[in-house]
């Protein structure tokens, strides 16, 4: 059975405190965080929503293990599970067999008991417990409404879930969550060129080049002088097989980078922009042009590993 000492300590926490702990376990980030103190209460509430979304994202996995295979609704009458510590410990043992990407199952097990295992598994009325989980999400989403700025801080949480689903290979789910983040974020999110750019980059990484082209065009519209965004467009076009359009976009990216007075993407970003242009030139056998870009890279940082990679592209082209 799960570590009773740890579980005993966790049972002293309320749901809000358990969600704060789960946020750190699920994301690897400090709850609250020095970078977000200005946002204060609203950010903290959104972080707790992030924990709820993590739980919702793993609902089916936990439900099948605890409610279906372990048959919680039958076991809940077992006198050995009559107290919170014993019940949470038994659930922790089951959750511990799952791949959830958290350091310990104890927080999740105590949180589920506090939220109500009967409702989670639908023991009493057989109601669809997925709907109950959705209602918990809705409740915390409402708490994350930032009345001062007129939009939901909750959109940060949905954006986090979007990124997580990309990492898990759940592309359709990621796209759905991005749309929800945009709806909740309102104009603040919809007019955020960096948000659109990061989303587009995730699409490129996921092999969804056509969708990435459409998305990053919105980022270009919002931030037309950002070299990194033009780089994302160029790479998306390259992956979509639209080579000449890609070269035009990447050339624009390099030109904007040369003219930039400050760069949020740093030295490595400057070189990455150029290696994409090298790749585009090589793909249509414009070797001399690719070599010129490599010389530009050398002038920026002659010791960078990006230069070796660029020359390898030319050699293999």
pLDDT tens sequence across 62-111:
999 999 999 999 988 888 888 889 999 999 999 999 989 898 899 999 99
Asked whether the CA dihedral 83, 84, 88, 89 is positive or negative, the reply is negative
Confidence label for 127 from pLDDT (cuts 50, 70 and 90): low
pTM greater than 0.95: no
Least confident of 54-58, 208-212, 261-265: 261-265
Confidence label for 313 from pLDDT (cuts 50, 70 and 90): very high
> Is 43's pLDDT higher than 50?
yes
pLDDT tens sequence across 146-203:
555 555 678 889 999 999 999 999 999 999 999 999 998 888 889 999 999 999 999 9
pLDDT tens sequence across 268-281:
999 999 999 999 99
Domain edges within the chain? 1-143, 207-317
pLDDT of 298 reads 96
pLDDT of 34 reads 44
pLDDT of 136 reads 92
CATH number of 207-317: 1.25.40.10
pLDDT of 72 reads 93
Confidence label for 40 from pLDDT (cuts 50, 70 and 90): very low
> Is 293's pLDDT higher than 50?
yes
């Amino acid at each position: 059975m799960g570590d009773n000492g740890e579980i005993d300590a966790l049972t002293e926490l309320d749901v809000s405190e358990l969600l704060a702990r789960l946020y750190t376990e699920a994301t690897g980030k400090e709850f609250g965080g020095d970078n977000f103190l200005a946002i204060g209460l609203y950010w903290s509430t959104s972080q707790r929503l992030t924990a709820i979304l993590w739980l919702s994202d793993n609902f089916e996995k936990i439900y099948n293990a605890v409610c279906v295979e372990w048959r919680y609704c039958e076991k809940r009458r077992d006198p050995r599970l009559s107290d919170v510590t014993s019940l949470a410990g038994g659930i922790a043992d089951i959750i511990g067999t799952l791949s959830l990407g958290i350091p310990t199952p104890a927080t999740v097990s105590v949180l589920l008991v506090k939220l109500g295992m009967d409702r989670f598994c639908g023991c009493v009325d057989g109601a669809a417990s997925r709907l109950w989980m959705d209602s918990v999400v809705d409740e915390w989403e409402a708490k994350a409404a930032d009345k001062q700025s007129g939009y939901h801080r909750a959109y940060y949480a949905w954006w986090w879930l979007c990124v997580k689903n990309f990492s898990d290979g759940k592309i359709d789910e990621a796209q759905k969550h991005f749309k929800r983040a945009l709806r909740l974020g309102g104009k603040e999110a919809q007019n955020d060129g960096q948000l659109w750019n990061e989303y587009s980059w995730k699409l490129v990484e996921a092999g969804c080049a056509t969708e990435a082209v459409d998305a990053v065009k919105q980022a270009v519209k919002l931030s037309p002088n950002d070299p990194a965004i033009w780089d994302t467009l160029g790479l998306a076009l390259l992956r979509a097989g639209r080579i000449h359009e890609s070269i035009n976009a990447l050339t624009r990216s390099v030109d904007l980078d040369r003219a930039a007075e400050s760069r949020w993407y740093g030295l490595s970003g400057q070189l990455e922009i150029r290696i994409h242009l090298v790749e585009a030139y090589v793909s249509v056998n414009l070797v001399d042009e690719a070599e010129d870009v490599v010389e530009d890279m050398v002038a920026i940082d002659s010791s960078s590993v990006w230069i070796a990679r660029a020359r390898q592209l030319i050699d293999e082209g």
